[in-house]
Copies of this chain bind each other. A is one copy, B any other.
Amino acid sequence: MLCRLLPRTAFRSIRNFSCCSRNLLSSTDLLLPRHLGPSDEQAAKMLKVCGYNTLDELTNKTVPSSIRISRNVTDQKEPRGEADVLEELKKAASLNRCDIKSYIGAGYYNTHVPNVILRNMLENPAWYTSYTPYQGEVSQGRLQMLLNYQTMIADLTGLPMSNASLLDEGTAAAEAVYMCLGMSDGKRKKFLISSDVHPQTIGVCKTRASGWGVTIEVMHHSQFDVSAKDVCGVLVQYPATDGTVDDFRELTKKVQSFGTKMCVATDLLALTMLAPPGEWGADIALGSNQRFGLPLGYGGPSAGFFATQEKHKRKMPGRIIGMSKDTRGKPALRMAMQTREQHIRREKATSNICTAQALLANMSVSYAIYHGPKQLTRIAQKARAAAKCFSAALTQMGYDLPNAKNEHYFDTVRIDNVPADTCLSACLKAGYNIRKLTDTCVCVAFDETTTEKDVQALVSAFAQAKNADNVTITVPTDVSVPDIFTRQTSFLTHSIFNSYHSETDMMRYLYSLQMRDLSLATAMIPLGSCTMKANTAAVMIPITWPEFANMHPFVPLDQAKGYNTMITQMEKDLCSITGFAGCTLMPNAGSQGEYTGLKVIQAYHASRGDTKRTICLIPHSAHGTNPASAVLSGHSVVEVACDTKGEVDVKDLIAKTNKYKEQLSCLMITYPSTHGVFEDKIKEIVSIIHAAGGQVYMDGANMNAQVGLTSPGDIGADVCHLNLHKTFAIPHGGGGPGVGPICVAKHLVEFLPTHPVIKTGGSRGIGNVSASPFGSASILPISWVYIKGLGSYGLKKATQMAILNANYMMKKLAPHYKVLYTGKYGQCAHEFIIDIRPIKAQCGISEEDIAKRLMDYNFHAPTMSFPVPGTLMIEPTESEPLYEIDRFIEAMISIRNEIKEVESGKMHKTNNCLKNAPHPADVVLADKWDRPYSREKAAYPLSYLRLNKFWPYCTRVDNVFGDRNLQCVCPPVKKL
């Protein structure tokens, strides 16, 4: 062990250090080499395999020279140390005034994130690095948690069908509008919203409805014209934004009797005490899960919930998790009714939710599981007790409290006929933010974290504001609400919600679920188009700093200087990286970015009087969110063909452009293409569109192959979205959260989205597309640390390494599988497609069989049948180590050999280790084994698996059965 001489020149050969101007006092904890998989030495070997000497050589043969850039894409060139970057961010964070407590409410409340959930879910890569559970057999843990989630929402709202979360309360409301429109077969073009609904919710509905030709009318719900035949639905809020609780039973009956749907924005905590909308007949209930243990985070991410009646279930937007069974008949979960989703139905999708809020939904239901129904009620009682003793004191002082007066409130007190600013500053002096509703009206919203001291301090502030005598509060013992509002039914009675109330119980439950899931902590997840890169601990650490976690989105801007500093820097860097002039961080996912970008394009055309431009060209290979976004934004989709090389058929593009010249709004194009190729003709394509007066929207899902080498702006596009949860290191959380900012060229900046409460966006902005002004602000530090940590040098190098990893893998697999498309010089971009159709034709083994068999080798499958049916799309990212890449290659070759055995007749055509894959432990060790292959071949096709085996939890899940027998809440417990 002590034999070889160590070269004295160690300094020079440190992995990935051969960059930039560095000296011996430079950081030794650089993020860059930790983020990348292969070392420089390994990269050199891999390049050789690909036939190149340097990364630049490879890049030059991959990215068309016509679009290459040489500038540094951010101001800071040098890669930096983790500690150094985190220190800078900590300094910025400390500018956030988190010493001031906010009782602003308006949909955002303080909450205690239970520490057991914080540590073992939010800060645990086994939970936060996994992807949307497309492969059910290795996702049963989070599928179970999402089923729990749906059960919770169904129970609390009193409506039996819940989806697995939407992006936020605002978009959930907009989805309700769309669903009501759909239920009227598109015929009723009006939707009424009560003026008592949160302003940001109204804003999102207005922005969105414009694309569907729906008029949103806002008025107090007492003014609703209930008998109007052109109204598809109404939306009220319960409790209202000012805290008032109204009895909507009458209204519900009335509107429904005229064929209008009743939608209710509501509050999960309040529903532990208030009769739920489902019980008084509402068609749809929606809202935010934020106060169920999700950090405020300056507005997000949280999750939106959405529930509806049984009869409407097939119209429900979003993802739904359902029970089914595996091939043995054992209960197994999977995503239900996927045929409704945009990645399959494309422009006919019921909604446009791809990345949702899975991690947040899982956290919020974990909160409910940990507390259980009694403790949740106790928490509600606490918030209400605070409101009660506060209003008693204020009443005593002579304040005018309209909703407290008749007990028509839950936890939010409205105070009328006051000088609002005086009240706000008195409270601020005491260390509290409250909400100004009008110049003469304020609200105070209490919550789980409120203490007696807090209430007393606020009471004293109000005494001061009035020069009144202070009143000492008395904590009430009875906090029940008036009988008409009282919830009479139990909820969360399932054992899941009544078993895990101690920390040990909860921790073990989380770990037992985690064990069922394959995450990046286990293995590579080579999902093409998903960019499952490293989410290093360093980038994740700041999101749980209290300075970022505990800030209300509507605090005065001067209290959020830390956030603003970070956000301004982020926007600047993203503009520079994309080659654009303006940016918004508001959209909560890629799909939302697409939507926002298309609305901006529309606004631009409209500003020039070009109102006829409504056609959106979309290549055949596009992701399903593109057509869905186009439709939702009010465009008509015209598909452009692809040629045999998988590239945009320029002839067809020209033909369509000519045909729709007057109506052409834009082209949506993914670059490099969803086929994994840098198309050479991209600039030509852009010119064709521009010449026809159209705009070019670039889908940035594949930015991981562009950063530092080229950019949408340099290519000539007008807008692009970025998936920060792909390219910029935000983890996927098992299906969200995401951040889908858009960057735009100069002429579009003025149309960037604005917000009804907080000033942001363009001078002629399109309104707000999310509930919160900066979208999922609290996870932006992830991308900030990533960008600052890598520097422009590292950002580019990461791109080059992603391209190398993909090309190396392709080169090694090419002798065994047919590679579908490559670029001019035979290179792929950062991902590539292998074609399984010839194999299937030959011997019946399908891409799905290979995907499931990979699980037996400790791998998550690549993307299946997107963008081309019958194929697998493989994306290793720059973060996968050479060891893991080689392990994948070895597994794929081993599987190819297994296929050969089927081809040759050596293995049975249907009863073989591929068709029967995956193989859980209880299958391979069952006393009975009558398969024509051995147990060991089933479980340990390669020898390393004996040392380190991830066990799939079930055999192949039956999708069809599940959709036929839709079961979307936890079934009653049977004795196991």
> A114 within 8 Å of B by Cβ?
yes
Bound Cα distance A123, B508 (Å):
16
Contacts of A488 in B (CB 8 A): 5
Cβ–Cβ < 8 Å partners of A33 in chain B: 501-502
* A946 interface hit (Cβ, 8 Å): yes
Give bound CA distance, A216 to B937, whole Å.
65
Could you list some 27 contacts between A and B, CB below 8 A?
A1-B151, A6-B373, A6-B377, A6-B490, A10-B377, A14-B374, A24-B476, A25-B452, A25-B475, A28-B375, A29-B114, A35-B502, A37-B504, A83-B449, A115-B541, A116-B536, A119-B125, A503-B537, A503-B879, A504-B520, A505-B881, A508-B884, A511-B522, A925-B939, A926-B936, A943-B976, A947-B976
Q: How far is the CB of A499 from chain B (nearest CB, A)?
A: 7
A6 touches B491 (CB 8 A): yes
Contact A386 B1, CB 8 Å, known A921-B949, A927-B936: no
Docked-complex contact A512 and B948, CB < 8 angstroms: yes
B381 touches A537 (CB 8 A): no
Say yes or no: is A227 at the interface (Cβ < 8 Å to chain B).
Answer: no
How many copies of this protein are present in the complex? Answer: 2
* Chain A residues numbered 1-59 whose CB sits less than 8 Å from any CB in chain B: 1-6, 8, 10-11, 13-15, 17, 23-29, 33-37, 39
Say yes or no: B25 contacts A490, CB within 8 Å.
no
At the interface, yes or no: A831 with Cβ under 8 Å from chain B? no
Asked, given contacts A33-B501, A501-B39, whether A119 binds B28 with beta carbons under 8 Å apart, the answer is no
A378 touches B28 (CB 8 A): yes
Residues of A118-157 whose CB lies within 8 A of B: 118-120, 123-126, 151, 154-155
Binary contact track A150-191/B, C-beta < 8 Å → 1, others 0: 010011001000000000000000000000000000000000
A648 to chain B, nearest CB (A): 35
A976–B663 alpha-carbon span in the complex (Å): 64
State the CA gap A951–B515 with chains docked (Å): 12
Is A523 an interface residue, CB under 8 A from the partner?
yes
Contacts of A541 in B (CB 8 A): 115, 119
Chain B residues near A944 (CB-CB < 8 A): 976
Complex Cα gap A508–B534 (Å): 11
CB-CB under 8 A for A491 and B14, given A511-B126, A536-B116: no
CB distance from A281 to the nearest CB of B (A): 14
Query: Please, how many angstroms separate the alpha-carbon atoms of A951 and B948 in the complex?
Result: 11
Q: Which residues of B contact A501 (CB under 8 A)?
A: 15, 33-34, 39
A287 CA / B278 CA spacing, docked (Å): 68
CA distance A475 to B946 in the complex (A): 51
Bound-state CA distance A126–B17 (Å) is 34
**Contact residues in B for A948 (Cβ distance below 8 Å):** 512, 515
Q: A922 contacts the other chain (Cβ, under 8 Å)? A: yes
Which residues of B are found within 8 Å of A28, using beta-carbon distances?
112, 375, 378-379, 382, 448
Q: A569 an interface residue at 8 Å Cβ cutoff?
A: no
Contact of A1 (CB < 8 Å), options: B503, B947, B969: B969
Judged by a CB distance under 8 angstroms, whether A880 is at the interface is yes
Residue A258 CB within 8 A of the other chain: no
List B contacts of A389 (CB < 8 A): 25
Min C-beta distance of A441 to chain B, whole Å = 26
A910 within 8 A of B: no
Q: How far is the CA of A491 from the CA of B5 in the complex (A)?
A: 9
Most B C-beta atoms less than 10 A away, residue of A1, A452, A499, A520: A1
Nearest to A514 among chain B residues (CB) is: B521
Mask, A78-109, CB within 8 Å of B = 1, is 00011110000000000000000000000000
Q: Of residues 381 to 404 in A, which have CB atoms within 8 Å of B's CB atoms? A: 381-382, 385-386, 389
Q: Do A507 and B119 contact each other (CB < 8 Å), given the known contacts A948-B512, A976-B944?
A: no
Q: Is A598's beta carbon under 8 Å from chain B?
A: no
User: Which residues of chain B are near A151, meaning CB under 8 Å?
Assistant: 1
Partner pick for A490 among B3, B37, B880, B921, CB 8 A cutoff: B3
Taking CB atoms, residues of chain B closer than 8 Å to A949 are 921
Neighbour of A503 across the interface among B14, B503, B536, CB < 8 A: B536
